[in-house]
Each structure stands twice: as C-alpha cells, then as structure tokens.
C-alpha cells in the first residue's frame, strides 16, 4: 500500500505565517519606487509596474513554502503487512462403532444418530479453525487415519461426510485411537498438539489400554480432550424385525472415569454431551481454549522528499536575485 506523510507536520503552520509576513513587509518596501519628475511617473504603465513589483514577494513566498515543506519532512513509500500464524495441530478421533447409530440426539423435531450429530457439530468446528492443521482418526474394533493433518478444509469436510457407522468395526478400541492419533502428532514441531477424542462406549478392543496410550501421548506433549456422547439411562436404536422397523432401548455405558483420567493426565479436559446442543457447546469451548497465535508485523519503506523542496526553494531565491538585478532592478 502506497502512502504519503509528513514526519514533522507541525512545521506546516509556518507555511501560512511566512507568506503573510512577506506580504505585509512587501507592501511597505518592495513597491516603493522613486521618480525625479512627475512627468516620468505619468509615462509609466502602472498596471505592469504593479504586477512586476509583486514578483519578488511571490518568489520569496514560494521559496519559503518550499523550505517549510522541507522542514516538515515529506515522505513517500510503501507499507506492507505481514501476518504470522502459529497454528494448533489437532487430530479428531471419532468413534464410528455400532453404538453410534443410537437415536438419542435430535435436530429440531427429528431424531438423528449420534454420528449425524457429531458430523454437524464437527463440520462447524473445522470451518472455524482456519490457521490449524487438522487430521481425522476413526475407530471401532480398530483405529486408522481417515485424513492426515491438513490445512485444506474442503478435503477434511469431504472425509467427514464419508464417515459411516461400522466402517472400522463394531467394538471400541479407545487405546488404539489414542495411539494412532499420537503417531500422527508426535514428530510435529507445533506450539500445541491436541487430540479431541469422542466416544460413546467402553474400551473393549485393541492391544493397548486407554491409560497406557494417554501416558505415551503425554510424553510427546500431546493434550487430550475427551468427550463422552450419549444420553443418560437408555437410548433408542432402530432395528429391523419380522414386524418391521422397531425401536429397541439399550443401556448407555460410557467409561467416564477412564475418559476423565485420560484428559487429566495429559492436561486436557473431559466433557459429557447428552444432546446436540451440549455437544456444540463443548466444541465451542474447546475452540475458545485452544487458540492459534496470530501476529501482525507492519513493514514500511519510504523515501525522503525534503531535498527536492529544499533545492526548489534555493532555485526560487536564485531566480529572485537574478531578476532583481536585471529586469526587476529597482530605480535608486
């Protein structure tokens, strides 16, 4: 961005006072011309004389303005703004086991599965994290990377929409999910590394326990926020029977104690979401806690213009001196 400025603008006040002073002095001195005879005075073209008599004061006024502008130090240049960001590296570990098809969440009047509610809330969370690399791990009986860490929101949203219940098996391997997420984050040199672990069940699969995996994550400086999703009590599931689709209610079992320990030992926080609104509030809170660092640095490059005004002022004075000794020479 181009700019023009005066480094010392207070000197500009003199640009008004200086010509006024010269005009006052000029009326007293520069216009008085002596004649030895009134006959000679009648032969003089008073209009031209008046104009020529003003030239010295005009030149001195312009020279003074140039000097004042030079004192104010006019500058012309370019200004650039550099934005430095230090994002947070985040892995979203999402449970896609069979229990995520429970219909204990709603959107308006419509009952939706837990996975649909998670998809809605996580999609909004992703859009807000413009400066962060985000990856996605899905888990059921096993855990694997659904999307590596990326800054490309469109790719991440595409993988999010492709999530399906049971795509990683029907069991729940929470420890494996933490392990795969840790593997994605451990070698990154970011200021903050976070796993947001979301599950609705108990760890009943995998070769590593959740607490063992959390201990490993802690050694790499990885923080784990864990979220237990599901209503309290019994949750409805839609199943096919010989009488057609029917609702069957099953107990909701979430190992909250283990999830809480996972978060506490890694410096994170445990949350419980019993509906879509509370789930949204949880992701909003995490979004506010884990902020990217944004720094703005302004660079300015400018050129001093005062030499041009100084030279112009000197040339105007030189011109006035030449004219005063030639065509504008005063008669003694």
Stronger pLDDT, 13 or 51, i.e. the higher one? 13
Residues 119 and 129: their CA atoms lie apart, in Å, by 16
Please, is 28 exposed, middle or buried when counting C-beta atoms within 10 Å of its C-beta (0-12, 13-18, 19+)?
A: exposed
Instruction: Give the whole-number percent of the chain exceeding pLDDT 90.
Output: 42
pLDDT in tens, 153-203: 999 999 999 999 999 998 999 999 999 999 999 988 887 899 999 999 889
Q: Which two tokens stand for residue 320?
A: 């006035």
The pLDDT of residue 28 is above 80: no
What is the band of 211 on the pLDDT scale with cuts at 50, 70, 90? very high
Strand (E) or helix (H) holding 53: helix 46-71
Residues 138 and 168: their CA atoms lie apart, in Å, by 7
Residues 13 and 11: their CA atoms lie apart, in Å, by 5
Contact at 8 Å (CB) between 131 and 83?
Answer: no
Phi, psi of 255 (to 5 degrees): -80, 75
Instruction: Give the whole-number percent of the chain exceeding pLDDT 70.
Output: 83
How does strand 2-6 pair with strand 74-86? antiparallel
Cross-strand partners of 169: none
Nearest to 147 by CA among 139, 22, 156: 156
Strand (E) or helix (H) holding 42: helix 38-42
> The domain 88-291 is classified under which CATH number: 1.20.1050.10, 3.40.50.410, 1.10.3210.10, 3.40.50.300?
3.40.50.410
The pLDDT of residue 73 is above 70: yes
Residues 290 and 223: their CA atoms lie apart, in Å, by 10
pLDDT at position 31: 47
For the chain, domain boundaries: 2-79+298-324, 88-291
Phi-psi region of 43 (alpha: psi -120 to 50; beta: other; left: phi over 0): alpha
Phi, psi of 224 (to 5 degrees): -120, 120
122 Cβ partners below 8 Å, 6+ apart?
A: 92, 94, 160, 283
Stronger pLDDT, 77 or 38, i.e. the higher one? 77
The pLDDT of residue 71 is above 60: yes
94 Cβ partners below 8 Å, 6+ apart?
A: 118, 122, 136, 137, 138, 139, 146, 163, 198
pLDDT in tens, 272-328: 998 899 999 999 999 888 776 655 566 677 788 888 888 988 998 888 888 877 776
Residues 32 and 14: their CA atoms lie apart, in Å, by 27
The pLDDT of residue 330 is above 50: yes
Q: Which two tokens stand for residue 293?
A: 């660092």
pLDDT at position 295: 56
Distance of CA 263 to the CA centre of its chain: 29
């Amino acid at each position: 961005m181009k700019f023009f400025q005066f480094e010392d603008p207070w000197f500009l006040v003199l640009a008004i006072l200086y010509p006024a002073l010269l005009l006052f002095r000029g009326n007293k001195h520069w216009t008085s011309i002596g004649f030895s005879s009134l006959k000679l005075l009648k032969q003089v073209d008073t209009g031209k004389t008046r104009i020529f008599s003003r030239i010295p004061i005009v030149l001195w006024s312009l020279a003074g303005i140039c000097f004042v502008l030079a004192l104010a130090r006019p500058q012309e240049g370019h200004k650039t703004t550099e934005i430095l960001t230090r994002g947070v590296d985040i892995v979203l570990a999402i449970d896609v086991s069979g229990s995520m098809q429970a219909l204990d969440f709603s959107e308006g009047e419509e009952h939706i599965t837990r996975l649909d509610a998670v998809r809605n809330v996580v999609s909004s969370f992703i859009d807000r994290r413009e400066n962060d690399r985000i990856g996605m791990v899905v888990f059921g009986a096993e855990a694997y990377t659904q999307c590596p860490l990326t800054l490309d929101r469109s790719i991440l949203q595409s993988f999010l929409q492709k999530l399906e219940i049971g795509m990683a098996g029907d069991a729940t391997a929470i420890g494996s999910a933490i392990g795969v997420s840790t593997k994605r984050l451990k070698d990154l040199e970011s200021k903050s590394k976070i796993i947001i672990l979301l599950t609705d069940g108990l760890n009943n699969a995998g070769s590593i326990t959740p607490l063992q995996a959390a201990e490993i994550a802690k050694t790499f400086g990885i923080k784990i926020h864990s979220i237990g999703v599901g209503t309290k009590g019994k949750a409805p599931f839609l199943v096919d029977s010989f009488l057609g689709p029917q609702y069957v209610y099953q107990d909701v079992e979430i190992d909250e104690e283990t999830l809480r320990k996972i978060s506490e030992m890694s410096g994170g926080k445990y949350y419980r979401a019993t509906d879509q609104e509370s789930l949204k509030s949880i992701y909003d809170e995490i979004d506010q806690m884990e902020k990217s660092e944004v720094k703005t640095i302004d660079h300015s490059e400018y050129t001093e213009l005062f030499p041009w005004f100084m030279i112009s002022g000197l040339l105007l004075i030189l011109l006035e001196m030449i004219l005063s000794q030639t065509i504008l020479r005063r008669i003694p």
